């Protein structure tokens, strides 16, 4: 079996499972008794193990298996959740993620056995339960389990066939929960008289009788097979019941033509042992499967290794080879089927519109009316189509932020501070490319808050704050933008300290620095190499950080600002465009060239007489409804001759960035248009006034003005 075609799915699903594990382990750490979390973890670990086995990734499978064993012990209560244990388990999770990353890069899981983690887990298990020491060879343990399970089952009453029902994890979870909740769980094997003609009907009545008292969780054969009469004269089932076993038994026996009902009540412990037997049954099957596939996987694996190894060696030799290192998997996106249906409908409308136009074009004069109508129709269809396609590209920012709780947990230990992270609005949707890129800047900001922002607990207590510091991340949509706020309730930015630092670094003289507004001072924090950390830690303070944050966010077409108050904390506010590829823009002409100004930065368009201009500190401004707005003559900025006639009113486009505004003087307005943003490429260094280009209907290239850069 060639499994390579499943690699994409494997990677996607592994990541999902890893994320689930990480989330639930965080919960478990907080609430060691949380059964839901344990079941969830167990399920994810189990699926991951199975998938790794199927794909032939032995090391990944082994590590997951060891981890799963560990959770099994936690679940059965034979091992307590300790901070030490969780640390190791998180390490194991990181290693698992490491395998998955390696697989993504090279299709091979690498040859790191992560033995130290495995040994550490086994050591803790051994200490806690006294049985983990057999684990270095987990295969053996598995077979031991099987033997144990077998021993359990063999001497049992032959008629108690319910003991052989295969229960999946979720069913088991449900039943365990029910037992904990004080309900009764019974296993029954029901024997119908061999003279019975309508055994399916009898079986149905039995199940119905039991369902009147509770819930039937599992049957053997399946309920479908029972209905179809695909069973001999007996069947087995598990049921959750409000009444005791005698009542249940009586209910079964009250159905006519039932010969016998054998059953017993299950406790949590029995249920877990039951699971052991079931899992053991599954496990050999799995490993057999793996063996079967192993030779083929091996066949491809060395080939891949040979290819990648020289490539990485040659890495320094030159650029072309470096390309070989790129991930082998293309990016995928999971799309809601409804979104695809909308797309499909729009495309069929598009085809209809096209056909009508084709026939209208053939039809001669009388058809010009139809043609106009159809062009309008076509326009609305393409607009909708655009919207639908954009929606397909939109994903919740969840995938970018869900690794942060774990990160904050690690930072808490490393920095020896108490902190919690609250996240809201993780369902806010952004373009996939933005979501992919936003993770790093956000991570920087959170680390910054943890390291620089939050104080040590004693310091906080002295200030009368709760010892536990809070870092928050709020995301929400605001018009055509998405705002992400990252902040903390820590000490805030000490503006005077930054001011002193600016002078100390020789970035400005003492007098100039003294005249800076707080905002201007804080802006220095975004300068490359400007670090405020008193000591460099490996978390932050090396002067790479805020400038990277700023440039990353700007490359996504967004901007970042900060609000801070001494001793109350700081909030970093990131504003990102909802979509990257297509924007609404105002088309203007300056000189003889066409430019596009993004509509969401424009507030109004004003007609201003030359005589209304005033000079403030040698700069032109206008007064508009009580606000003084600086004027920017676009012809000067863009280096062209203005075609504007001095006698006429000037056209001033008022643009805003946060609270500040500017008036851009243009020569002519062309109107509003949807434009597709194209990059100018990495080789041209513009002065940031031009953020990109777009192609107009007639093939002409127009440049897009970044109004933010002019304010």
Partner 1 sequence: MEELERYVEDKATQYIVVNLGIEHYGIDIKYIDNIVKVPAIRRVPNIEDYFKGVINLRGEVIPVMDLRLRFGMEELEYTGKTRIIIVKLDPQAAMGLIVDEVEQVLDIYDSQIEKVSAEKKEETNGYITTVGKTDRGLVSILNLATVIGEKEQQI
Q: Give the binding site for partner 1 (CB under 8 A).
A: 319, 323, 593, 637-640, 678-687, 689-690, 692-695, 699-703
Residue reference for tokens 């805030």: 492
- Write down the H helix ranges in 228-267: 245-253
For 105, 107, 233, the CA distances from 8, given in Å and listed in that order, are 12, 10, 46
Nearer to partner 1, 319 or 331 (CB): 319
Helix (H) or strand (E) holding 79: none
| In the complex, minimum distance from the CB of residue 594 to partner 1, in angstroms, rounded to a whole number | 9
Q: Considering 17, 29, 65, 68, which one is annotated as catalytic? A: 68
Nearer to partner 1, 343 or 638 (CB): 638
The verdict on whether omega for the bond into residue 221 sits within 30 degrees of 0, i.e. cis, is: yes
Six-digit token pair at 443? 């991570």
Query: Measured between alpha carbons, how far is 656 from 354 in angstroms, rounded to an integer?
Result: 41
Asked if 630 and 663 count as a contact pair (C-beta separation under 8 A), the reply is yes
Q: Which of 546, 550, 427, 573 is nearest to 487 (CA)?
A: 573
| In the complex, minimum distance from the CB of residue 542 to partner 1, in angstroms, rounded to a whole number | 21
Six-digit token pair at 673? 């248009």
| In the complex, minimum distance from the CB of residue 678 to partner 1, in angstroms, rounded to a whole number | 4
Backbone angles phi, psi at 289, to 5 degrees: -60, -45
| In the complex, minimum distance from the CB of residue 589 to partner 1, in angstroms, rounded to a whole number | 13
| In the complex, minimum distance from the CB of residue 42 to partner 1, in angstroms, rounded to a whole number | 44
Asked if 175 and 185 count as a contact pair (C-beta separation under 8 A), the reply is yes
Nearer to partner 1, 165 or 689 (CB): 689
Query: Measured between alpha carbons, how far is 144 from 324 in angstroms, rounded to an integer?
Result: 45
Instruction: Please confirm, yes or no, whether 227 is among the known catalytic residues.
Output: no
Nearer to partner 1, 390 or 680 (CB): 680
Q: Which of 193, 168, 179 is nearest to 42 (CA)?
A: 168
Instruction: Please confirm, yes or no, whether 386 is among the known catalytic residues.
Output: no
| In the complex, minimum distance from the CB of residue 701 to partner 1, in angstroms, rounded to a whole number | 4
Backbone angles phi, psi at 108, to 5 degrees: -115, 150
Nearer to partner 1, 413 or 678 (CB): 678
Query: Measured between alpha carbons, how far is 396 from 394 in angstroms, rounded to an integer?
Result: 7
Nearer to partner 1, 262 or 556 (CB): 556
Nearer to partner 1, 625 or 682 (CB): 682
* Residues found in the chain: 711
SS3 655: strand
Instruction: Please confirm, yes or no, whether 68 is among the known catalytic residues.
Output: yes
Q: Considering 114, 122, 234, 448, which one is annotated as catalytic? A: 448
Q: Considering 17, 29, 46, 644, which one is annotated as catalytic? A: 46
Query: Measured between alpha carbons, how far is 475 from 574 in angstroms, rounded to an integer?
Result: 9
Q: Give me the residues paired with residue 704 across strands.
A: 596, 692
Exposed/middle/buried for 707, CB within 10 Å: 0-12, 13-18, 19+?
buried
| In the complex, minimum distance from the CB of residue 660 to partner 1, in angstroms, rounded to a whole number | 22
Supply the residues annotated as catalytic. 46, 68, 448
């Amino acid at each position: 079996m060639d499994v390579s075609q499943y690699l994409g799915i494997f990677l996607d699903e592994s990541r999902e499972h890893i994320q689930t594990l990480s989330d639930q382990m965080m919960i478990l750490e907080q609430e060691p008794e949380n059964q839901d979390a344990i079941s969830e973890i167990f399920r994810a670990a189990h699926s991951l193990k199975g998938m790794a086995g199927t794909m032939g990734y032995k090391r990944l499978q082994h590590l997951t298996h060891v981890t799963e064993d560990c959770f099994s012990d936690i679940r059965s209560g034979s091992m307590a959740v300790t901070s030490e244990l969780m640390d190791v388990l998180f390490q194991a999770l990181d290693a698992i993620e490491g395998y998955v990353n390696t697989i993504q890069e090279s299709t091979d899981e690498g040859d790191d056995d992560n033995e130290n983690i495995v040994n550490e887990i086994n050591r803790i298990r051994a200490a806690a339960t006294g049985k983990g020491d057999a684990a270095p060879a987990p295969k053996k343990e598995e077979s031991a389990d099987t033997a144990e399970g077998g021993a359990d089952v063999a001497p049992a009453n032959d008629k108690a066939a319910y003991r052989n029902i295969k229960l999946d994890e979720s069913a088991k979870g449900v039943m365990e929960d029910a037992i904990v909740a004080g309900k009764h769980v019974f296993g029954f094997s029901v024997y119908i008289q061999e003279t019975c003609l309508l055994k399916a009907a009898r079986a149905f009545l039995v199940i119905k009788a039991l369902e009147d008292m509770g819930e039937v969780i599992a049957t053997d054969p399946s309920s479908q097979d029972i209905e179809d009469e695909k069973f001999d004269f007996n069947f087995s089932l598990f049921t959750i019941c409000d009444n005791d076993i005698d009542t249940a038994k009586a209910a079964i026996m009250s159905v006519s033509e039932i010969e016998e009902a054998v059953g017993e009540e299950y406790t949590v412990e029995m249920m877990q042992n039951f699971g052991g037997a079931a899992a053991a049954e599954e496990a050999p099957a799995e490993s057999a499967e793996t063996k079967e596939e192993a030779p083929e996987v091996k066949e491809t694996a060395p080939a891949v290794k040979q290819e990648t190894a020289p490539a990485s060696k040659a890495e320094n030799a030159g650029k072309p080879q470096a390309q070989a290192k790129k991930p082998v998997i293309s990016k995928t996106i999971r799309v809601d089927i409804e979104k695809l249906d909308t797309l499909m409908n729009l495309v069929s409308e598009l085809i209809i519109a096209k056909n009508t136009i084709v026939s209208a074009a053939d039809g001669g004069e009388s058809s010009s009316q139809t043609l106009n109508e159809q062009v309008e129709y076509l326009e609305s269809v393409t607009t909708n189509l655009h919207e639908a396609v954009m929606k397909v590209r939109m994903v919740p920012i969840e995938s970018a932020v869900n690794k942060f709780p774990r990160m904050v947990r690690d930072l808490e230990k490393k920095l020896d501070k108490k902190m919690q992270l609250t996240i809201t609005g993780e369902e806010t949707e952004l373009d996939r490319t933005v979501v992919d890129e936003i993770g790093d800047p956000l991570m920087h900001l959170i680390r910054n808050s943890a390291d620089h922002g939050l104080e040590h607990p004693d310091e906080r207590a002295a200030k009368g704050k709760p010892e536990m510091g809070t870092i928050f991340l709020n995301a929400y949509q605001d018009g055509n933008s998405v705002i992400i706020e990252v902040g903390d309730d820590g000490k805030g930015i000490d503006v005077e300290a930054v001011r002193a630092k600016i002078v100390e670094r020789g970035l400005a003289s003492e007098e100039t620095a003294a005249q800076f507004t707080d905002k201007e001072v804080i802006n220095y924090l975004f300068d490359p190499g400007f670090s405020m950390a008193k000591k460099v830690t490996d978390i932050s303070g090396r002067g790479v950080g805020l400038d990277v944050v700023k440039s990353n966010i700007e490359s996504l077409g967004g901007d970042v600002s900060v609000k801070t108050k001494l001793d109350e904390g700081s909030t970093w506010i990131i504003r990102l465009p909802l979509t990257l590829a297509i924007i609404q823009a105002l088309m203007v002409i300056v000189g003889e060239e066409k430019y596009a100004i993004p509509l969401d930065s424009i507030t109004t368009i004003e007609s201003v007489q030359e005589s209304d201009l005033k000079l403030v500190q040698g700069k032109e401004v206008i007064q508009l409804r009580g606000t003084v707005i600086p004027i920017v003559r676009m012809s000067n900025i863009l280096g062209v001759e203005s075609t504007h006639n001095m006698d006429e009113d000037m056209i001033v486009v008022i643009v805003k960035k946060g609270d500040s505004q500017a008036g851009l003087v243009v020569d002519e307005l062309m109107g509003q248009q949807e434009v597709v943003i194209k990059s100018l490429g990495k080789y041209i260094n513009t002065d940031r006034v031009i953020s990109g280009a777009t192609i107009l209907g007639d093939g002409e290239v127009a440049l897009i003005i970044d109004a933010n850069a002019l304010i």
